[in-house]
Amino acid sequence: MGWNAVSFDWNRARAFLVTAEEGSLSAAARALGLAQPTLSRQVDALQQELGVVLFERFGRGLELTPAGANLLEHVRVMGKGAMALSIAAQGQSDQISGPVTISASDAYAGLWLPPILQKLRQQEPGLSIRVLADNDASDLMRREADIAIRNFRPKEPELVAKRITETGAAFFASEAYIAAHGHIKTAADWENANLILPDEKTAFLGALQGMGLPVSAQSVAYECSSYLAMWEMVRQGLGVGILDVNLGDTEPGILRAAPDTAVLPFPVWLVAHRDILTNQRLRLVFDFLAQELKKPPSATQT
């Protein structure tokens, strides 16, 4: 193989790849943890090394040139290879101390994980734990996180998943709200429920209606992009929110707002990349989370 023909820097190729996928230098710089001028210099240097123009500027954005679009597919193959190398290398590590990134919804991250992580750090003080609190599923294939707590089973064959428990969601409100408005029992009660939806209204209402609940746009008082913020709004008496019963039933001053409505079931899965589980540090954290998440949240605080 003529290795002397490879005359570019991989870091610059990575800068090109991430800029193309993110659509702008600022977004790519955030994704890579670099200053935007540094990233821009890397992309410019790659263009000079390759002798081609990769991007054209349109307003504040960037658009791939035909040459850039052709080369992007080759760089994507390189990126997948680099990611596979990183995962495989991490899988060979036998060190317990070091970083671990755990992805979970903001409700689980804020209401369920803290006592579990405190216990974990007490047992393994060498761990450095990063919590990615996001209601969108993290991309484990691209190493956005090492381990994820999800409510659905992954489809990717490279991921391993362990079903931790079967739980459910119910509607909750503060004692003060229930005292003022009563429990939700009839269709009229649902229509005037002051729902606080932790998602875009149309999609979430459609899901609830699909479960047979007589809710409509009139039922919605607030929309909120965060489950954790929604829950604080419930606690302060603004309306009715939906949450995992393991969390809602343990909250002082909170009651089930629709006690006659069946719990909406869903599973809890623990997910990681298959190769990563040969890493002793990540395997320890995976197994610890699997054990602790089987317990109700109230039990993890003791």
CA distance 90 to 102: 16
Burial of 2 (0-12, 13-18, 19+ CB in 10 A): exposed
What is the model's pLDDT at position 280? 87
What is the model's pLDDT at position 84? 64
What is the model's pLDDT at position 65? 87
Tell me the per-residue pLDDT of 166-212, one tens digit each, with 9 for 90 and over.
Answer: 999 999 999 999 999 999 999 999 989 999 998 777 888 888 888 88
Domain 167-264: CATH architecture, name and number where available: 3-Layer(aba) Sandwich (3.40)
Share of the chain above pLDDT 90, in %: 47
Tell me the per-residue pLDDT of 70-114, one tens digit each, with 9 for 90 and over.
Answer: 888 888 877 776 666 565 655 555 567 889 999 999 999 999 999
CATH 3.40.190.290 placement within the chain:
167-264
Total-model pTM: 0.68
Find the helix or strand (DSSP H, E) in which 184 lies.
none
Q: Rounded mean pLDDT of 32-60? A: 83
What is the model's pLDDT at position 2? 43
Q: What rounded mean pLDDT belongs to the chain?
A: 86
Tell me the per-residue pLDDT of 212-226, one tens digit each, with 9 for 90 and over.
Answer: 889 988 899 999 989
Q: Topology of domain 98-166+266-300, per CATH?
A: D-Maltodextrin-Binding Protein; domain 2 (3.40.190)
CA distance 299 to 283: 23
Domain 3-91: CATH architecture, name and number where available: Orthogonal Bundle (1.10)
Q: Name the more confident of 221 and 48.
A: 221
CA distance 222 to 233: 9
Q: Rounded mean pLDDT of 144-157? A: 91
What is the model's pLDDT at position 3? 42
Q: Residue 153 pLDDT more than 70? A: yes
- Tell me, letter by letter, the H, E, C secondary structure of 82-129: HHHHHHHHHHCCCCCCEEEEEEECHHHHHHCHHHHHHHHHHHCCCEEE
